[in-house]
Chains A and B, each alone.
Chain A
């Protein structure tokens, strides 16, 4: 187990290092820099001073070296747009993304696996309900998150059922914890639905197919022969085994969902990591882009670790391999 964890930590460090360095280099190499953010008609001296302040007057490799030496001391540079250190900005945005991501993941997991068990257990001849669920899943998988988000925002604008966007109601400045949490919760449905629907559809399809295949394995037939009820055979015998398919992709899904969705966060104005990175990219806010990439990579590494641990928990064969 110790070796497994050490391998994972090394993988995480490498992933963060490579992602943030690549983000820094690519942003630096993209055409344009901070000059467009300095306001109308900046003077040459003004632009030169701003470039010097952000080390943009140095060669890219030298700039990367300086940034990396500071990053090792947990100084990730200053954001051009925000005029603040990148670290706290990214942590805050990551926390907001995590709130959204964890909620969406929970919804997607419950919905996707629940419906997957239902359609998998019913098989192809289970009547109309599984067909409707399958069709809905395929529709959700086919719809890009941008379209889903826009449709939801449109519905919210027309009906007033949900807030239009953001994480809290505009204008609420001082409030106690309880109402504040309730306000955040009221703003969650829109981005959560947009984020959770395709993930839930993926889980439903995977779970359905895996369970369908597992139900045909001899040990399920043996359980039924021993007098175990069909419900128990599905839930206590077949389902845990079929979970391996979900666990195999769960880690990547966790990482992807937690590191923020550009589209969903932007359209629903959720102040998370995805939106921050998108805006940083547009503004060529080079250190903020690198910081967001590093945080996204950390989430991906954590997600992969969580997925592996889940696999360990559900599959004894993997557990034995890890603990050997």
Chain B
């Protein structure tokens, strides 16, 4: 046989084998044969917004996620996608209602706190079961805390499970009672336990004992192995494509009519990394939910789509994490930089604050959908917002006065102020590439600063490069959004304390660099260990005042957030916190529930 003929036969055989392999691998469920199923039929048009609408059982919704879950084990991850997925799968003793910010009973139906705030006793709902049918008991709660605090697990929530500098201890007097003992009082109190995912001892006990819990429930874990107390169970995870959740038939919660929750039979999260593609799909009726709030530039097209009856737009409220602008002020890194002499003076930062017209900033960057803000706590975080902080009205003349008071004047007439040694106030501002409101915001700040003689050059970097610069303080200034760990300041100590990993301008400092930071450290330590709410508020108001006087981070506007979802979706209780809609997934339903039943 001729070599060319042999090659042709071999190539044909290889092509056939590859095709068969592909077909087997790419088929949903690995091509395990014919199965029944009805495709999703898309949005069918909205019924009227009838307040008497009664939620129906059944149907499925399709949401989107912009990234993959990194783990199904909440002890190991804190990224948004993983957190959302785990919220669907797992339960907690108590839940912070994302709409009211109040603590609600969840797996625990009630609790007692001792007068000294050192003991919390939780009473579990009776006769609950895990999604695999195993009984749920206080032993699972004790196990969950042990797992969170086990050094081998290196849990990301371990620091939340500390009070008075010591780990919280748990004991189970009986199958339905758990008693937590704290070494010192904790300001957030029972809110601490919203962060503790309740894990099944019967599934993960052996892994904890063997020291392998840190590897458990990774993304490659078969869905059937992941057991929870949440409203849904994982049915399928196709990396890069989608996650499919089915209703947990053993979910404990019922609605006011006694109807078993969740209403939905199925929830699908398609992985769509690109936000424009995500919005196109929403407008085309291919998805019901998006990953997060809309960007300012999306307001107009989505409003138009709403007018055409294609989507529903809901206002979430004022965002709780405004974009910030700050300089690196780490003495160990910047001591030899001659510009550090004036950057570390608060008058310099106050001058920039005076230079910016916040009303106009809100108009330009957020197309009017924002309110001026003066500190990291916005009106969106109502319980902790303090209106009585120093404010810096738009006043370029005052800004120039402040600069002059610290020796910065335009001595050579080039439009940029210098100190007496000729060091110009010229800085590079880093921001994240591809996020329009960061790039626009940084540019607007640059223009205002230029008007008072401060030169800012804006450079947009990809996220990994930007984070590497932030970590090593290898930057002059940054404009971006830094997320607070929690709305309760007592749970955001990483931002407020000088030793914190989110103390933006001087990350994880061994000692406070300034007197005012030392004072904030003292106040926040007291705030986090004070039980009386009124006292906590008073202390935190002081902290906000000191912060606004010194302006280590400048804030200009807090956006008013909007969220778009399909018109068929019902039961939406929007929240400014992420996930804005899926936090309440067990109450979501679809208007055409039975018709779109999977």
Contact = CB atoms under 8 A, between A and B. Distances in A.
Interface in B14-48: 18, 21-23, 25-29, 31, 34-37, 39-40
Contact of A35 (B159, B471, B494): B471
Contacts of B598: 171, 173-174
A82 B68 contact: yes
A47 B465 CA distance: 15
A95 B26 contact: yes
A42 interface: yes
Contact of B219 (A32, A37, A83): A83
A38 B469 contact: no
Contact of A170 (B156, B268, B467): B268
A92 interface: yes
A43 B468 contact: no
Interface of A: 1, 30-47, 49, 80-85, 89, 91-93, 95-96, 98-99, 153, 157, 160, 163-167, 169-177, 179-180, 183, 266-267, 269, 271, 275-276, 279, 282-284, 306, 309, 312-313, 319, 323
Contacts of B68: 81-83
B29 A174 contact: yes
Interface in B209-242: 218-220, 235-236, 239-242
A248 B312 CA distance: 55
Interface string B461-494: 1111111110100000000001101000000001
Contact of A175 (B39, B67, B156, B235): B39
Interface stretch (B167-175, B271-279, B325-333, B437-445): B271-279
B284 interface: yes
Contacts of A37: 70, 79, 464
10 contacts: A36-B468, A41-B501, A45-B154, A82-B240, A92-B239, A164-B286, A170-B287, A173-B37, A271-B241, A279-B273
Interface residues of B, number: 77
A97 to B, nearest CB: 11
Nearest to A46: B156
B467 A177 contact: no
A26 to B, nearest CB: 13
A183 B39 CA distance: 10
Contacts of A40: 78, 482-483, 485, 502
Contacts of B485: 40-41
Interface in B260-282: 266, 268, 270, 272-274, 277, 280-281
Contacts of A46: 154, 156
Contact of A269 (B7, B71, B277): B277
Contact of B266 (A49, A81, A173): A173
Contacts of A163: 286
A75 to B, nearest CB: 14
A35 B18 contact: no
Contact of B235 (A173, A276, A284): A173
Contacts of A177: 23, 27, 31, 34
Contact of B283 (A34, A85, A157, A279): A157
B70 A81 contact: yes
A129 to B, nearest CB: 36
A44 B502 CA distance: 10
A153 B471 CA distance: 39
Contact of A173 (B25, B79, B236): B236
Contacts of B219: 82-84
Most buried by B among A36, A93, A153, A169: A36
Contact of B37 (A35, A36, A43, A175): A175
A163 B598 CA distance: 20
A92 B462 contact: no
A42 to B, nearest CB: 7
A173 B223 CA distance: 15
B501 A42 contact: yes
A34 B466 CA distance: 12
A184 to B, nearest CB: 8
Nearest to A176: B34
Contacts of A282: 462-464
A280 B235 CA distance: 26
Contacts of A30: 464-465
Given A171-B598, A172-B40, 9 more contacts: A32-B467, A37-B70, A39-B77, A46-B154, A83-B219, A84-B219, A174-B28, A180-B28, A269-B272
Contacts of A84: 218-220, 239
Most buried by A among B80, B235, B501: B501
Most buried by B among A44, A153, A157, A174: A174
A269 B240 CA distance: 10
Contacts of A36: 463-464, 466-468
The 7 closest A-B pairs by CB, nearest first: A32-B464, A171-B40, A174-B37, A39-B79, A39-B78, A36-B467, A41-B502
A171 B288 CA distance: 11
Given A164-B280, A172-B39, A180-B28, A35 B464 contact: yes
A92 B277 CA distance: 23
A313 B39 contact: no
A279 B68 CA distance: 11
Contacts of A275: 240
B60 interface: yes
Contact of B240 (A34, A93, A176, A283): A93
Contacts of B235: 173
Contacts of B465: 30-32
Contacts of B51: none
Interface in B358-394: none
B3 A1 contact: yes
Contact of A41 (B11, B82, B274, B494): B494
B467 A175 contact: no
B62 A173 contact: no
B256 interface: no
B3 A323 contact: yes
A47 B37 contact: no
